[in-house]
Structure 1
């Protein structure tokens, strides 16, 4: 008679729960991500460890960390689970569905990215889009996010960053400011740009420019109004408080006049925008297609 194991069998659903704990570093976050109670997550991990005969996690009062065996499990199992989901999606041939959790910067995200995601949602009615606008660099796995749009450079060995757009920046001021402070001049030299009232995003702000020969230049504007949210800064510019540096499309949308620095200063440097996602996961189909959709929309 053969030996019969008394260890309860594990399933694909158990593996999904264990991988969620490994990715999020927390039983509570894994429970939120998988939709099962925290107590069930704890029992599932214990059952899985017993069946595997190894400890996968080190627990303390604040965080769950991976053992070497847990790291191997995550590296091998997570891509397999994602690939299985993609195969099922392709075989089913159904519409895209599920949640798409995205974070983006407040300015570039509030208009062009948001508009692109709206059209994506219109084209795929079964996809639920959750867009969070913030300039903070958040942990994608910890927050349960599928995708981030971030200004470069992007740091993190565990992240994939795909460049999708160079956001054109410009200098803008209200018609009243141009009339009163600039005597209708729209082309300014370095001295004027460093002495005129400016709206900045923080103390010690430096504006970066690039000349036609490719050389980079910088100047320090004379800050009259400082605010961390550039949307408020643009609003301050419409009230005539000073010159603001912002994406050109936002300046035009706000009714501001575009100012041109002289050749020795150069043009306001564009900001590189990247689609960012965790490197250790195969992208779900809805995320991969959303990135392509936004990239095409931004490039026009």
Structure 2
């Protein structure tokens, strides 16, 4: 006997209150329903119903069995709903946490929207490490180390931080020829929006001590502000290359000490443990396909080498 079919008939009898009503709901005869219940009881070795000529009622064992059977039927219904959703394609609201990123990243998000018009994309921009589970996010893009065992992850790519300044700033001060020269320059610094601590610059093996000795001209928790100040000649900034690339290519910014500041920052997609929804899988796959090209380092003519 099909175990699932037997469970389905048992639950329907409980919900309908009689073999006749259950048979009507299932498209079977009352006799067929009764035989199914008898075979189920024989297999289980217990009586599930008290029966008389007028009514049926659950036994103690039947009531206990019903709890488990309802859970099984609910799981089957959920599995069928998931498959139906997969056949229909990704759709519905998708809430994603992303870092403060440049227009190039935003263009990828817009391209995702065009590719999946049935998904209602909700982006929350923040440089802090959000709690996906507690805050109700279905996915996140995160830079740096991953420490939450409740999450699944996929490496998307990596980028580098670069030191940049405007030609107008460098016309007023001698360009740094080595890492030590940075102590004599005005520096535009980023800080962690959660802790308020300054992010160190990638200044070789002794990067922490060197970063602590830099002169702060500006501190902000958004690269857009650092970029604006840097373009206006207010100092040297250290920022993701994808923020500065367009301005380096145009000559508005000059990159310096490239060999001495070699570094990589990992970007990963995160989502809660368990089966992934079609919309979450679609987002992660799309980002993994499109975003790495934006983060790849470029070769520039407008750089100042170390002396």
Q: What TM-score do you get using the length of structure 2 for normalisation?
A: 0.63
Tell me the C-alpha RMSD between the 2 structures.
Answer: 3.1
Structure 1 position 229, deviation (Å) = 1.8
Alignment gaps of 5+ in structure 2: 1-49, 61-65, 192-196, 294-307
What CA distance in whole angstroms lies between the structure 2 residues aligned with 1:133 and 1:244? 22
CA contact (8 A) 1:230 1:246 kept: yes
Q: Which residue of 1 aligns with 2:271?
A: 277
What CA distance in whole angstroms lies between the structure 2 residues aligned with 1:112 and 1:78? 44
Structure 1 position 112, deviation (Å) = 3.5
CA contact (8 A) 1:151 1:272 kept: yes
What CA distance in whole angstroms lies between the structure 2 residues aligned with 1:161 and 1:81? 28
- With 128-137 and 230-239 compared, the bigger mean Cα shift is at 230-239
What CA distance in whole angstroms lies between the structure 2 residues aligned with 1:189 and 1:230? 24
CA contact (8 A) 2:162 2:261 kept: no
Q: Which residue of 2 aligns with 1:227?
A: 220
Structure 1 residues 78 and 204: alpha-carbon distance in aligned structure 2, compared to 1, 3 A threshold: farther
CA contact (8 A) 1:83 1:282 kept: no
1:72-107 per-residue CA deviation (whole Å, 9 max, x = no partner) reads x9xx999988754442234x3x34211111111112
- With 217-226 and 243-252 compared, the bigger mean Cα shift is at 217-226
Q: Which residue of 2 aligns with 1:247?
A: 240
- The aligned length equals 221
SS at 1:106's partner residue?
coil
SS at 1:208's partner residue?
coil
Structure 1 position 222, deviation (Å) = 2.1
Structure 1 residues 204 and 125: alpha-carbon distance in aligned structure 2, compared to 1, 3 A threshold: closer
Structure 1 position 120, deviation (Å) = 1.1
Q: What TM-score do you get using the length of structure 1 for normalisation?
A: 0.65
Larger radius of gyration, structure 1 or 2?
Answer: 2
Counterparts of 1:12-161 in structure 2, within 5 Å, are 84-90=80-86, 92=87, 94-107=88-101, 110-161=102-153
Query: Where has structure 1 moved over 6 Å in runs of 4 or more?
Result: 76-82
SS at 1:102's partner residue?
strand
Q: Which residue of 1 aligns with 2:167?
A: 175
Structure 1 residues 121 and 82: alpha-carbon distance in aligned structure 2, compared to 1, 3 A threshold: farther
CA contact (8 A) 1:197 1:224 kept: yes
Structure 1 position 285, deviation (Å) = 1.2
Structure 1 residues 238 and 77: alpha-carbon distance in aligned structure 2, compared to 1, 3 A threshold: farther
CA contact (8 A) 1:82 1:283 kept: no
